[in-house]
Each structure stands twice: as C-alpha cells, then as structure tokens.
Amino acid sequence: MMAEFKLVYPTKEQAEWADCELGVIIHMDIETFDYTYTHNSWTKEKRDPAIFAPMQLDTDQWIETVLKMGGKYAVLVAKHCTGFCLWPTEQHEYSIKQSPWKDGKGDIVGDFFKSCKKYGVKPGLYYSASYNGYMGVVNPGVHETDPTPEKQQAYNEFVIRQLTELWTWYGDVFEIWFDGGCLPVEKGGPDIAGLLHKLQPDAVVFQGPEGTKSLLRWVGNERATAAENCSSIMNFSPQLFDGTVEAPDSGNTFGDTWCPAESDMPNREAGKAFLGGWFWRDGEDQHVFSAEHLFDTYLKSVGRNTNMLIGMVIDNRGLSPDKDVEEFTKLGKYIKDAFSVKLAEGQKIDDMTYQLEIPPGSSAASYILIGEEITLGERVYEYSVTSGGTVIYEGSIIGHKKIIPINNLTGGYVKLNILKSKDTPVIKFFDIY
C-alpha cells in the first residue's frame, strides 16, 4: 500500500554521518586531576591549572582505540563546564597554557585533529556555551551572581571569540556538539547560529540551532538505547533537553525535518562512576562496561536507525585506560564476528516484497539486516518479516539500518513484506547473517 506524502531527505553530510554508525565522545578536563569536583561545584571554585599534567598524553593512542572498536568518528570535549580549555585560547589563561604538559606550549585539540587525519577518523568538537565555571556562568548562559545585560553581552562576545578559534584554527569539523542546545539570540544568547553557518556550514550539528543545514537530535537517554522504531525525521522544535533528563524520542516519520538521533552513553556505569561515568577516576575499572554490554547496546542503537556515540574517558596519564581499551577492542571483534558471514542476500520480487533463501546446511542465522537508501528518504512505515509464512518480526521504521536478532533460523525462505510506504520503497540491502 502506498499513499502520497511529501518526502524529506538528508543532506549529503547527514547521509555520510549515518554511514559512520559508531563513534566516541572524549572527555578529559581539570576534573580528571581533582576528584572533589561535582556537578554543583563547576561554577563555585576554580582549580590550579598546574594540576593538569597528562605527561604521557598521546592522541594517536586515543584514535587507534577508536579504530579497534570499529569507530569512524570522534568528538573531543574541547571545553566542558569548568571553563578549562584544551587548546591555547587567546581569551584567558585558564587553559593548557598554564599546564606543565609541554611546558604550557601544547595544544590537545590540535594534536587530536592531526591524529584523526592520520588514521582517517572524522573529527568533532564539543563546546559548552551554557556552562563555564571559570566565567561564573550557569545554564542557560546568564551569570549566576549579579547578572546584568552588560555582563551577558560580554560573555556572549567571549563565546563567539572562542568558537571562532575552534572553528577556524583546525580545519573542517565533521560534527559539532551542543550539549543542551544553544541559548538563542532572542533570549539573550550569543549569535552562535550565525557563526556556525558562516564558519562550519557543512558540519552535522547535535542539538544545533534552528536553520542549521544538518541537524542531529538526542535519542532521549544516556544509555544509547533507541526506541524499537526510531525515525530519522521529526517536526522541528528547539531542543529543550539538557542531556541528563530522559525524554524518549522516536521521531516522527511524517515530520518536516531530517534530524536523526544520536544514541550516547558513558563507558562506565552512570550511577556508580565519577561524574556520571563520563570522566576518569582511578580505581573504577569495575564500573567499565563489558564488551558484551556494549555490543548489546550497539544492536539497540545502530540496529535501530541511530548512531552510537560511546564515552571515552582519558586518564591522568593522558591515555585511554588499559581496561577501556581492552573492552573497546573486544567490542570491535564482536561486531566484526557477528556480521562477517553473510548467509544470503535478499532479491526483489516486486516493489513491496523482497525474499532470500538460507542455504540448506548453512550455519544457523542470528541477525537480519535491512536498510533503505536514505538519500531517497525514509519511505517504509509498516512492514513485516516472515519465515515459512510465519511472521517473525513486525515494525514501522527501517531507515539507514535495522538489525533484527533472531533465534537460530536454519534453511528456508525469509521475506520482507512492505505493507505501507510513502513512495516506492528503495531497499538498499536485505541480508541475513
């Protein structure tokens, strides 16, 4: 059944982002060297930058670890909520310029970009405009004490200068992260949208401002778990999530904006590890998620039409910790092993039906993979999968990739039955592993 609908399409950059599927978001801050930090102390106390001493820091090791897990992109938190900067900003001294690492002459953001280029990983940047402990700023960007329009304007100009540094010093940024979005100009915030569209117009932007060419949205939790049927389309509205309060979001395939979900999670148990599991603390190896847990989450994120973004902590040496590297490496092997033996590829029977045959005597099948050609839109909105005439799965959204775990299916025909579609379905693959 097909009805006429207006199709919504991804940009070239959004389609490229979807193909990446798996990435990391990297956290290291002055908090890494001072465990007394809490979420409530970001704007109350400053720490001596001399304690920031990652004397073995090696961004190549970070990106090599990304490759071991099968990741294709990495987002570096250049400035989190403390206000401490991982690049030698010219706007104040609270940065690695006051660190003993490389005698204050280093540039972690610059090294990160060089490593990404070296290993073919796409670089992204996170910058918190709404929190800055050093500047005494709390969400949504106004000063905590003695707020005045003049102080807000001064802070706005400061943010623009710092973002100009980040968006002009290092080249093209693949993904830009705004945790909790941006305070719009009409509410007193800086003109981040105007700067973004001028300096990095081709970046995909997580929780970006209205008018951004290539938007991404939050999946609605920090467990990297998408809804069973998660659309890449939504009706645009300013993102109100702050990244900590759950707001389940499955999108709306009949909406007006292509804005796919990114499923993020820390690599350590949020309720037990330091600062929600996003930052390193010594002695917390027991809270590192196992590769088995990460692979199960991969099936619930990448396998549900979203990208998976895993937190990567950096320890006080300046390295991805040994335990984390071990589990990330195992994750890469699990993904490779799970999808290395393709038992059969689907063939088109007609516009609404695809069929494959599991060869007799082959290994038992574990996963069905279905994908649409998303450059032509998200078209299917009701379908079923049958084996021997029996329905084994029913769903509404396919999108970039749908992974359906199955129990030891052996031999016979498996059909994809498209029941409702906005236009002629364009199935990119229908495979069984």
Q: Is residue 271 part of a domain?
A: yes
pLDDT of residue 37: 66
Neighbours of 322 (CB within 10 A): 9
Q: Is residue 96 part of a domain?
A: yes
The better pLDDT of the pair 364, 88 is held by 88
Q: Residue 191 sits in a domain of what CATH number?
A: 3.20.20.80
b/e map 96-118, b = 16+ CB within 10 Å: bbebebeeeebbbbebbbbbbee
Q: In the numeric block, which tokens belong to residue 416?
A: 């994809």
pLDDT of residue 240: 46
Whether residues 232 and 259 share a domain: the answer is yes
Whether residues 136 and 283 share a domain: the answer is yes
Task: Encode 244-267 in three state secondary structure.
Answer: CCCCCCCCCCCCCEECCEEEEECC
pLDDT-based confidence at 238, cuts 50/70/90? low
Q: In the numeric block, which tokens belong to residue 102?
A: 């490389």
Identity of the residue numbered 358: I
Tell the residue number behind the tokens 């335990």, with chain if given: 323
Whether residues 78 and 206 share a domain: the answer is yes
Check if the beta carbon of residue 212 is closer than 8 Å to that of residue 197: yes
Whether residues 212 and 356 share a domain: the answer is no
Whether residues 99 and 179 share a domain: the answer is yes
Whether residues 237 and 365 share a domain: the answer is no
Whether residues 107 and 217 share a domain: the answer is yes
Q: Is residue 88 part of a domain?
A: yes
- pTM value is 0.95
Q: Is residue 161 part of a domain?
A: yes
Q: In the numeric block, which tokens belong to residue 213?
A: 């060419």
Q: Is residue 68 part of a domain?
A: yes
Could you read off the pLDDT of 374-386 as tens digits, one per residue? 999 999 999 999 9
Sequential DSSP letters for 390-412: EEEEEES--TT-EEEEEEEE-SE
Whether residues 210 and 355 share a domain: the answer is no
Neighbours of 372 (CB within 10 A): 24
Whether residues 31 and 167 share a domain: the answer is yes
Could you read off the pLDDT of 20-67 as tens digits, one per residue? 999 999 999 998 998 776 655 555 567 899 999 999 999 999 999 999
pLDDT of residue 35: 74
Whether residues 302 and 319 share a domain: the answer is yes
Whether residues 148 and 209 share a domain: the answer is yes
* Mean pLDDT, residues 121-130 taken together: 95
Could you read off the pLDDT of 138-157 as tens digits, one per residue? 766 666 666 788 888 999 99
What is the spatial distance between Cα 32 and Cα 26, in angstroms, rounded to a whole number? 12
pLDDT-based confidence at 179, cuts 50/70/90? confident
Neighbours of 195 (CB within 10 A): 16
The domain tally of the chain equals: 2
pLDDT of residue 326: 98
Q: Percent of the chain at pLDDT above 70?
A: 93
What is the spatial distance between Cα 268 and Cα 289, in angstroms, rounded to a whole number? 5
Q: Percent of the chain at pLDDT above 90?
A: 77
Q: Is residue 2 part of a domain?
A: no
Final residue belonging to a domain, choices 338, 366, 383: 338
Among 43-47, 75-79, 108-112, 199-203, the range scoring the smallest mean pLDDT is: 43-47
Sign of the CA dihedral with 32 first, then 36, 42, and 45 last: negative
pLDDT of residue 350: 97
pLDDT of residue 308: 98
Q: Residue 373 sits in a domain of what CATH number?
A: 2.60.120.260
**Average pLDDT across the chain, whole number:** 92
Final residue belonging to a domain, choices 306, 338, 370: 338
Final residue belonging to a domain, choices 296, 323, 338: 338
CA-angle at 155, arms to 153 and 157, nearest 5°: 70
* Mean pLDDT, residues 211-227 taken together: 93
Whether residues 191 and 297 share a domain: the answer is yes
| Coil, helix or strand at residue 304 | strand
Sequence-ordered list of residues with C-beta below 8 angstroms from that of 40, at least 6 positions apart, any chain: none
Domain carrying residue 98: 12-338
Tell the residue number behind the tokens 């970009």, with chain if given: 113
Could you read off the pLDDT of 333-373 as tens digits, one per residue? 999 999 999 999 999 999 999 999 999 888 889 999 999 99
pLDDT of residue 244: 56
Q: Is residue 3 part of a domain?
A: no
What is the spatial distance between Cα 110 and Cα 86, in angstroms, rounded to a whole number? 9
* Mean pLDDT, residues 276-282 taken together: 94
What is the spatial distance between Cα 78 and Cα 66, in angstroms, rounded to a whole number? 18
Q: Is residue 7 part of a domain?
A: no
